[in-house]
Amino acid sequence: MMKPRKVTVNLNQCKAVARVIKGVRVKEPLYGEKFEGIAPDFYLVFSAICYDTRGFRIPGTNLHGSHAIFEALMREYHKDPRKISIEYIHRNLTLDEFRKWMQCVENISRVEERYVILKETAKSLIENIGGIDKLLSMDTGEIIKAMNKLKAFTDPLKKKIMVFLKFIHESGMYKVDLSKVIVALDYHLTRIAFRTGMISLNDETLLDRIRNGKKVRIYEDLMIRKAAIEAYTIVGNESGLDAFTVDTIFWNLGRSCCRLEYASCHTCRNERYCTFTKATFYKCEGKCPLSTVCKGAVSKEYRSLKEHFIKTFFY
């Protein structure tokens, strides 16, 4: 007799969520960046070092999390675009210089690790692939396969590869085959998948570890993320929205409505800094748009669920 799966996807709940978001339209590119004149190197560098960004912020701004990393790199790019290039990073970038790039980010962590990963990635991209121009001469499937061999992008579920592809697609510099992509699953999307009931944990020991903020094992992380990706793929298929659009919708919901520390199920608590209304044409009704179908909106038990904890450079 087969053991029950520790994590399951709830098809009916995915369909219910899909019906709600079906009419949502995205209006802003990722991070609101206009893309003109920005080299693909910038987006690859950003994607490579953008992980474990909880608590990051730039003082004097509303920029936090991955936005803080993006802004730090953009400031350096505007000073000298040549320095945010794969060639420069491989040949010339030092740890001291990289630290200076990141010094405007408050609460920045794992700086040396990010530097080492970035250097290894740049070296491999040049020596094994032939550089970023060669990478972008490939079709979407080939890019995914090639990038998955680069140090920063070795995640089996390819989160950061999807972030990079989303940038170059939205910038217009490369036409991504949307049939080849999935959501760039991170902790925001995982949290929403738990709270909405799109995925369920059927292992009480694992559930207790997650509730208590204890680290999960690598195979458990992969198991949870695989289930969540499957759930969002169903949402995309049922709503008719591509993976990049689904990703934008739920990533911004997680940053604004369904936050780790609170959920705006029935009363908005983040109107001033909401990125969801900035990123979409959704007209806010003073509550989370998923409140009519989300299990967390009616159940404190679901609402208290949070993403699992693991230390990784995958996301």
Q: Is residue 311 part of a domain?
A: no
Q: Is residue 136 part of a domain?
A: yes
Asked if 19 and 49 sit in the same domain, the reply is: no
C-alpha span between 47 and 39 (Å, rounded): 13
- The enclosing domain of 112 has a CATH number of 1.10.340.30
Banded pLDDT at 37 (limits 50, 70, 90) = confident
Total domain count for the chain? 2
pLDDT at 140 over 90: yes
Asked if 59 and 138 sit in the same domain, the reply is: yes
Q: Is residue 308 part of a domain?
A: no
Q: Is residue 178 part of a domain?
A: no
Q: Which tens digit of pLDDT belongs to each residue from 77-94?
A: 999 999 999 999 999 999
What local confidence, expressed as pLDDT, does residue 1 receive?
53
Structure token digits, residue 197: 């009931």
Q: Is residue 213 part of a domain?
A: yes
Q: Which tens digit of pLDDT belongs to each residue from 55-73?
A: 999 999 989 999 999 999 9
pLDDT at 32 over 70: no
Asked if 17 and 80 sit in the same domain, the reply is: no
pTM of the model: 0.94
- Residue-range definition of the domain harbouring residue 279: 7-27+183-303
- The enclosing domain of 210 has a CATH number of 1.10.1670
What local confidence, expressed as pLDDT, does residue 89 receive?
99
Banded pLDDT at 280 (limits 50, 70, 90) = very high
